Amino acid sequence: MARTVAAHHAGTVDSALTELADAHGVATRYENSDQVQVQVDDEVVIAVLAQFDVDASTAEAVQRSLAVVREAAQVTALPPTLVVREGAGHDLGGPAVVQLEDGSRREVTGRLPADLPLGWHRVVTKDQNVVLAVVPTKLPEIPPAWGWMLQLYALHSEGSWGMGDFADLATMAARSAAELDAGVLLVNPVQAFSPAHPVERSPYSPSSRRFANPIYLRVTATKAFDRADADTQARVRALEPAGHPDLIDYDAVWEAKRAALDLLWPHHESIKMDDDLLAFATFGALAEVHGADWRTWPDQLKDPASREVASARDELGDRVEFHAWLQQLCHGQLDEVRRAARGMTVGVVHDLPVGVHPGGADTWALRDVFAAKVRVGAPPDAFNQQGQDWNLPPWRPDKLAEAGYAPFRDVIRGVLQHADGIRVDHVAGLWRLWWIPPGEPANRGTYVHYDAEAMLGVLALEAHRAGAVVVGEDLGTVEDTVTETMHERGMLSSAVLWFQRDWDAPGQPFVRPGDWDPDAMASISTHDLPTVSGWLEGEHVRVRAELGLLDGPAEPEYEAAAKERAALLGLVAREGIPAGDPVVALHTLLASAASRLVLTSPADVVGERRQPNLPGTIDQYPNWRIPLPVTVDGFFADERVRAAVAPLKAARPLKHE
């Protein structure tokens, strides 16, 4: 990405563009995964600034935009949202009134008192009225445990319809604790999809991060099914998809469940809707008629506040209530999952994806806080040599602050409503996100910075209130401050065996697990990386070579993979671990990790070679469609499972009450 300086940005204007970009948190340079400084093309910077409604298209425009920035800095004394740590205080620049969350008021002379309670308050000065969040300095220490990192859709049982469901999840939680001493269960995102065909398969591209996904409902475990007459129950059961295919068919599963829920709708319980649920349910009803992506709807329906949408809501009233009812059903079954996990040390940890689908319910209802034309992704690195484009629109940091961080707070609350913990995917996104401007490939982007102190503070406050643990996924190109700050705040980072290497040593040897970060959630792999069996057999190289995802010929990649295997198995030998069964050996190695939490996946312990998701592909690879080769009952009866987790269980036994 060599820098190209346009003629009208020559000389002093180039420094002006940098100043303007800095004011909006847009990077003009960054350090790549090889720790090499990369200059960002001016054209990319200008295109990203345009997403902030900032004109930098000419030298004159840059100067005008800079003048606006400088004037605003002189006018306002406080930011639109003030986030402070408990006991820290803050200079307000003059007298103010603090309106506390409980309704009481405190008059202050010029500085926030250090004894303000944790919570969401407001500061009112002569000229401003801003949100004040007082947040914890550090979360409580997390007890040691082992557990599963679970792809819920991959489960299947006698009662589930073609893919895993919330009842399967409850069974996994209860039996893992009772039979295997597992203390934590990390679940892939279960946030809402758009209820229209084709059904979105990726759990990391939800329609909304504030609501749950009804495709995971166990239809026959609802109160409506219990209330239904025998004939209706029989008709519902007849809709169950036959067998369990080699690849999960989301459309067939949703079609069957939607039809079954329609049959049960006359037996539904009463429904309560607040404004947010009403808007979400309205989106669902409209999506059934006009398609999953609101950007393709008739123009009059693209604005949720329009009279046409209000009229359509009235006309579709029954379907609006139906989609609100589905959320109530999800809440009930997610509560059952959490109750099933009560015997665990930590419990159920739900995964929070980086963003939402660009045409989904959240961008429809909350469009003002999104940079709708930008896609989030990642710059090139060793595993993704062409960069990544996740096709997710980012939040605008300025609009998020103006909204008092309420959109972010509501997302965290929605996840923690049914969780004992939250894993934040790509947690570095609380500091910065890789923005790809319209029309550019993944490697032609730049980082946009967020107020990490505010974002992390909001996360800590909501986790504190929920009594939840926080894990941040800090893999890939991540600044050191991300991991360091998370540890300071009582949050765990992530440690993955494939990446635990001394990069400065000859041959890049793997680091002993005993030397891994203790404040981490450790695993052998992740959903975006090879499974244990796949890595041992070079499946990740074969698949990427066949799909043309390598920058060069396959042979050097196979040779590199063979060297990595030899280096890792060499570490196994040096640690005195028998290498008879390499899957068991690697789990024994993982069990010795210094990290507080250690997780493995069901796919790893049953020998599945295919990784759940292959970044850089959409339809070329069966992402998010690969089921486990055994049922839930078969899983717990499988000797391979017992053998692989035995060292984990021995290292972190669960104390049964």
Q: Name, in order, each residue with C-beta under 8 angstroms of 643's C-beta and a sequence gap of 6 or more.
A: 581, 584
Ramachandran assignment for 9, one of left (phi > 0), alpha (psi -120 to 50 degrees), beta (any other): alpha
604-652, pLDDT tens digit by residue? 999 999 999 998 788 999 999 999 999 999 999 999 999 999 999 999 9
Q: How many residues does the chain have?
A: 657
Q: Residue 506: what pLDDT?
A: 66
pLDDT greater than 70 at residue 192: yes
- For residues 34-52, give the mean pLDDT: 93
Query: For residue range 318-334, what is the model confidence (pLDDT) as tens digits?
Result: 999 999 999 999 999 99
Cα separation values, 587 from 231, 442, 510, Å? 50, 35, 15
441-474 tens-digit pLDDT: 999 999 999 999 999 999 999 999 999 999 999 9
Rounded Cα gap, residues 89 and 114, in angstroms? 5
Give the single-character DSSP code of 80. S
- Residue 508: what pLDDT? 63
Q: 523 by DSSP, 3-state: which? A: strand
Band (5; pLDDT cuts 50, 70, 90): very low
355 contacts 394 by C-beta, under 8 angstroms: yes
User: What span, in angstroms and rounded, lies between the C-alpha atoms of 256 and 245?
Assistant: 15
Alpha-carbon distance of 284 to 466, in angstroms, equals 29
Is-contact 598 644, C-beta < 8 A? Answer: no
CA 600 to each of CA 184, 186, 434, 512, 524: distance values in angstroms, whole numbers, following the listed order:
11, 10, 29, 18, 7
Tokens representing 457 are 């503070």
Model confidence, pTM: 0.94
Beta strands in 23-124 (DSSP E): 29-31, 37-39, 81-85, 90-91, 96-99, 105-108, 111-112, 119-124
Per-residue pLDDT band at 12 (split at 50, 70, 90): very low
Per-residue pLDDT at 572 exceeds 80? yes
Q: What average pLDDT does the chain have?
A: 93
Question: How far apart are the C-alpha atoms of 507 and 301, rounded to whole Å?
Answer: 59
Phi, psi at 543, each rounded to 5°: -65, -45
CB 516 within 8 A of CB 595: yes
Q: Which residues contact 476 (CB under 8 A, 6 or more apart)?
A: 33, 378, 381, 426, 428
pLDDT of residue 507: 63
Residue 20 CA: distances (Å) to CA of 46, 67, 71, 449: 10, 10, 13, 13
- Give the pairing of strands 469-472 and 421-424: parallel
**What DSSP designation does 208 have?**
E
Other CB atoms within 10 Å distance of the CB of residue 493: 22
The residue type of 484 is E
- CA–CA gap between residue 358 and residue 249 (Å, rounded): 23
Query: Can you give the pLDDT at residue 135?
Result: 98
Burial of 265 (0-12, 13-18, 19+ CB in 10 A): middle
* Residues 525 and 531 sit within 8 Å (Cβ to Cβ): yes
Q: Which residues pair with 134 in a beta bridge?
A: 84, 119
CA distance 517 to 521: 9
Q: Does pLDDT of 4 surpass 70?
A: no
Give Cα 79 distance to the centre of its chain: 27
> Does residue 110 register a pLDDT over 80?
yes
pLDDT digits (tens, 9 = 90+) for 239-278: 999 877 899 999 999 999 999 999 999 999 999 999 999 9
Q: Is residue 353 within 8 Å of residue 210, measured between CB atoms?
A: no
Strand partners, 423: 351, 471
